[in-house]
Structure formats: structure tokens, C-alpha cells
Amino acid sequence: MTPAAALRLGRVSNLPTVWTNAITGVALAGVSPWHWATVPAALGLSLSYVGGMYLNDAFDRAVDARERPSRPIPSGAAEANTVFAAGFALLLGGVAMLLAAACGFGVSAEWAVLAGLALGGAVLAYNWHHKGNPLSPLWMGACRVLAYVSAGLAATAVLPAPLLAAAAVSLCYLIGLTYIAKQETLGRVGNLWPLLFLAAPLAYGAWLAEAATDWLVLLALAGWIGVALALLRRRRPGDIPRAVVSLIAGIALLDAMFLAIAGWTGAVPLALGCFAATLALQRCVSGT
């Protein structure tokens, strides 16, 4: 497997959105996101994400051979067995890093490990059966929910309500995003009602926003969702994939909103930087 194929398989351009998940999970757990143990927590989620992306290509190799023959496995740039092995190894590595993070935060590691295993299980379940599965957007959303939960449980033994609420809002956003992604190879979007899930973060933000920073980040998120939806409405060739990667990058904006509303304004610029980094990296490595 070449380094270029490894990067494409892992969709590494989207990793900054995983880092903001870790930062947000720790912060909403009531712990400073500047604690050094946030780094292994972010690394653990990153390994789980890349492992999930590897398994996605490994399980979808037959479909990709028909619909996207340029992907690493059907093009011959990577062997399916190698990708499977790497994917499972990365998932286990993610659990190990969450264990290290919990030790660093000084909390009991058992819940963080269980959350990491649940995350790995959700990733595996999604990749094993997502083609033609009407519940696959829910499964994908569950993976991101468990990312917040895993980071939170690495930092504290009891998850506070703000973290659980943010995870639920993120679930709605991911359902809308994943529904669009499922139409990527069709070049069109069918029923539009699942896109209403994308409004949940905006309603949540409008309900809780107070400070100017809260509103500025909320408006940025609303504007970015509007940009993605405009691409769907235009429906020129390539617009649906562009909408998908735009909404993936928007996860970092969503986390910036969560951080702002929770009072962690010092971490908002970091989340915004991750948003910009995702957009820049997606120009080099495809986000889908």
C-alpha cells in the first residue's frame, strides 16, 4: 500500500473535525480542553475514524469496483486483506489511546474503554451493512455521538446534560449529512425531508445563544449549511460530493457553536482553525 493510497483510504482530510469532537467532548464534560490528556483522546478518536474509513473501503470494494473503480482497492493500489487488517488494528489502537487519555485525566478508565469499544462496534456495524440500509444515516450519526461520549468519559465519570444534548444535536446533523452522502453516486437527491435534520443545530443554537460570540458562530454555521444546500439545489455535476465534504467540514463549525454556548470561548478559534484546515486538506485528499 502506497502512502498516497493510505491517505485516501483514511479520508485524513476530515481528521480536524474529529479533533474538534474530542475537544468539545472534554470541554462539555466540564474539564479544560487544554489539559494535555485531550491529545491522546483526540488521537484515539482519530485512529477510530481512520480505521472506520479503511473498513468502509474494504467492505465496499465490490460496489466501488462498479461505481468508483479509481478507489485504492479496485484500482490495485491496496490489497483488501491489508486494508481489513489495518482497519481493525486502528480501531483497537483507538481504544488503547482512550485508555491512556482516561489515565491522564485521572479518572477510572473502564467507561472510556467501554465507550471506545462501543464506538468501534458502531463503526463496524455501519460499514458491514450500510448499502441499501435505510437506517445507515442513524448508524453514522451514532458513530459521531459515541465520539463525543468517548472523549467525555475519558475526562469524567458522569456525562453532564450539555454534552448529551450536544451529542443529540450532532446526531441530527449527521443524519442529514449521511442521507446526502448516500445519494453521491446517483448525482441527485431524492426525498428532501431528511434534510430537515440539518435545522436541529440551528434551532438548538438559537435557543441557547446569548453572547455575541455565540451568535456569530451560529450565523457562520447557518451560512455554511446554506452554501451546501445551495449546491444541492443547483445540482450540477459534482455538486452533491461538494455539498457532502462541505457539511463534513461544517462539523467543526458545529463544535465551535457548542464550545461558544458552553462558555469555552477560548477554544472557539481552535475549532474555527480546524474548519479551515479541513477545507484546505480536502483540496489535497478527497473527503469522501
Res. 150 pLDDT band, cuts 50 70 90: very high
Q: Over the stretch 11-46, which tens digit does the pLDDT of each residue have?
A: 999 999 999 999 999 999 999 999 999 999 999 999
Q: Over the stretch 96-108, which tens digit does the pLDDT of each residue have?
A: 999 999 999 999 8
| Helix ranges (DSSP H) in 11-79 | 15-28, 38-59, 61-67, 72-75
pTM, full prediction:
0.90
What is the Cα–Cα distance from 199 to 89, expressed in whole angstroms? 36
Q: What is the mean pLDDT of residues 136-160?
A: 89
To the nearest 10 degrees (0 to 180), the angle between helices 268-282 and 15-28 is: 160
Q: Is 18 helix (H, G, I), strand (E, B) or coil?
A: helix
What is the Cα–Cα distance from 14 to 282, expressed in whole angstroms? 7
Whether residue 216 is predicted with pLDDT greater than 70 in this model: the reply is yes
Higher pLDDT among residues 65 and 29, named by residue:
29
What is the Cα–Cα distance from 83 to 59, expressed in whole angstroms? 10
- Which backbone phi and psi does 201 adopt, to 5 degrees? -60, -35
Least confident span in 114-128, 188-202, 253-267:
188-202
Q: Over the stretch 114-134, which tens digit does the pLDDT of each residue have?
A: 999 999 999 988 888 666 666
If you count DSSP H runs as helices and E runs as strands, how many of each does the chain have, helices first?
A: 13, 0
Higher pLDDT among residues 136 and 217, named by residue:
217
Quick one: pLDDT at residue 193? 63
Quick one: pLDDT at residue 114? 95
